[in-house]
Amino acid sequence: MSPAASPYGPRAETGPPGLAAKLLGFCEELRSEGVAVGTSEILDAFAALDQVSWESREGFREALATTIAKSQEDRRLFELLFERWFFRAAEAEAIEREIGETEQRHEGAERLDIDELREQIRQAIVDGDEGQMRDLARLAIAAFGRQGEGSGVVGVDVQRIRRTLELSAGAQPQPADGAAELPPIDRDQLNRFERHLRRELERDLIERTETLPPSRPLAELDRALPTSPTQDLAAVHRAVSQMKRRLATLGHEQRGRRKAQTVDVRRTMRASLETGGVPMHLRYRPKRPRRPEIYVLCDVSTSVTSASVFFLSVLHALHDSFRKLRSFVFIERISEVTEIFEHERDFREIARRISSEGGVADVSGYTDYGRVWLEFLTEISDDLDPRSTVIVLGDARTNGREPHAEVFAQVAERAGRLFWLNPEPRLYWNYGDSVMAAYERHCDGAFECWTTRHLENFVNVVAGGVPAAD
């Protein structure tokens, strides 16, 4: 490893044969899952691999990760794909060369004492010894799965083995005979052991069938959909904080510029150098844009149940970012919930209070958009001005009631900007009782929005960028 050679030189080819191709294949796989891997990053990865010892799996992975995965989300995908890709690559190679280890690998399983095995596994988990865990996982599979008697479904077998081993996270049941106290098992550590179990089971399966199961793209669900509010709240918050920057500097920069400006003495003096120290041109301090006022209207009826958790988390994030934000929820009537968001931090508590105190459902529990616009307009029409932005989160399904698009048009006219985020795919708009078309033409923009990716897309478009390809 001579440091004098160029780090981007042709040395990538001097690694084990085929590695470069494998690595490129891996990057291709990452790209297909939406991680932006540039050529320069791949070159960096090769340069980094030159510097670490390849015997350590950790070092190899970290060196790749630090050069290729450039955000937390990317890192998460990286981990998932890394496991899968290199595991598959090794297995494919093994099948090709007809290397199997079914004969030797379960040797000695019959002689195993279960209690002893349990002790060893527990110790390995507590120590976090990866190699040990892997070996023990094999033994455990051999001892309990008894080769082929498993259910055939990897996930089921993992749990079955875990239960037989009496492994669970948290404090351990103490042995009755007063032997040494068992240390508690960390949730993460247990997960790690389960991962080994899973991988070994998969390996068994592959060896039995001598084919690789088809590689599936990671489910969209696995990516970004915040169905559980606390889980991906952070992602929503990130998208919203970008939105904040966009909205704050958009639309009204040019208004009232010349009035009441302050001279920037330092920059004026510097400019005066061009004229020999005589300040001919005045330089002004840049004017800070005024804070935007935002009104968010959120549908919480049953037709959008699945999306309303997402919408509420968007609202929650908006409240964190904007001072002048007023939020409303509606079903049949509209109700202001700004105060709940301002006083309550805990997301679950907010959701509970909105459903109990909102008072938005009358009799039927079906959304009445027409009535909502009328009420909204009477309630806050005086406050709406060209500086305000209105964002509606809803599916535009009126349940056959009068949509009152003309009232909506009035709202749109008074507000500076009006955006509509619809939790349904564009394909379903205007089908059935959806009257999206009637509203859409009054909006400055209507977007489908049910994942954080859509939310980011919305932010991009608002900022004048191009919509990201889906």
Task: Give the footprint of other proteins on this chain (CB under 8 A).
Answer: 3, 7, 36, 38, 40-41, 44, 47-48, 51-53, 58-59, 62-63, 65-67, 69-72, 75, 186, 188, 230, 238, 241-242, 245, 266, 269-270, 273, 276-277, 345-347
Residue number with CB closer to other proteins (79 or 383): 79
Q: Smallest distance, Å, CB 407 to other proteins?
A: 37
284 pairs with which residues across the strands?
A: 263
Q: Please identify, using beta-carbon distances, which residue of 270 and 426 lies nearer to other proteins.
A: 270
The CB-of-181 to other proteins minimum distance in angstroms stands at 14
Which CB, 79 or 107, lies closer to other proteins? 79
- Give the closest residue to 137 by CA, choosing from 92, 202, 89, 206: 202
Between 49 and 443, whose beta carbon lies closer to other proteins? 49
How many beta carbons lie within 10 A of that of residue 127, not counting itself? 12
| CB distance 420 to 443 below 8 Å | yes
Q: Rounded to the nearest whole angstrom, what is the least distance from the CB of residue 261 to other proteins in the complex?
A: 17
Instruction: Tell the residue number behind the tokens 């923009």, with chain if given.
Output: 445
In sequence order, the 6+-apart residues with CB closer than 8 A to the CB of 372 are 297, 330, 332, 333, 334
Among 274, 159, 243, CA closest to 419? 243
Minimum Å gap between C-beta 350 and other proteins is 11
C-beta of 114: minimal distance to other proteins in Å?
29
Alpha-carbon distance of 428 to 324, in angstroms, equals 34
Cβ proximity to other proteins: between 47 and 212 the closer is: 47
Q: Which two tokens stand for residue 89?
A: 């690559």
The residue (of 58 and 382) whose beta carbon lies closer to other proteins is 58
**In this structure, what are the phi and psi dihedrals at residue 447, rounded to the nearest 5 degrees?**
-135, 145
Q: At its nearest, how many Å lie between other proteins and the CB of residue 8?
A: 10
The Cα-based distances of 466 to 280, 380, 457, 459 in angstroms read 42, 33, 8, 10
d(CA 55, CA 395): 55
Give the Cα separation of 207 and 223 in Å (integer): 30
By C-beta, is 309 or 377 nearer to other proteins? 309
Between residues 48 and 396, which has the closer beta carbon with respect to other proteins? Answer: 48
CB closer to other proteins out of 324 and 343:
343
Min CB(277)–other proteins separation in Å? 5
CB of 296 to other proteins, least distance (A): 21
| Residues 434/367, Cβ–Cβ less than 8 Å | no
Q: Check the CA dihedral 400-405-411-416 and report its sign.
A: positive
Can you give the length of the chain in residues?
A: 470
Which CB sits closer to other proteins, 212 or 233?
233
Please report where in the chains the tokens 């990538």 appear, as a residue.
12
Residue 27's closest CA among 72, 71, 73, 86?
86
- Least distance CB 274 / other proteins (angstroms): 11
Considering beta carbons, is residue 273 or 437 the nearer one to other proteins?
Answer: 273
Minimal distance in Å, beta carbon 75 to other proteins? 6
| Three-state DSSP class for residue 13 | helix
Measured distance CA(330)–CA(333) in Å, rounded: 5
Cα separation, 305 vs 170, whole angstroms: 35
Alpha-carbon dihedral sign for residues 43, 44, 48, 49: negative
Structure tokens at 15: 């690694």
Minimal distance, residue 244 CB to other proteins, in Å: 9
Q: Phi and psi at residue 276, in whole multiples of 5°? A: 65, 35
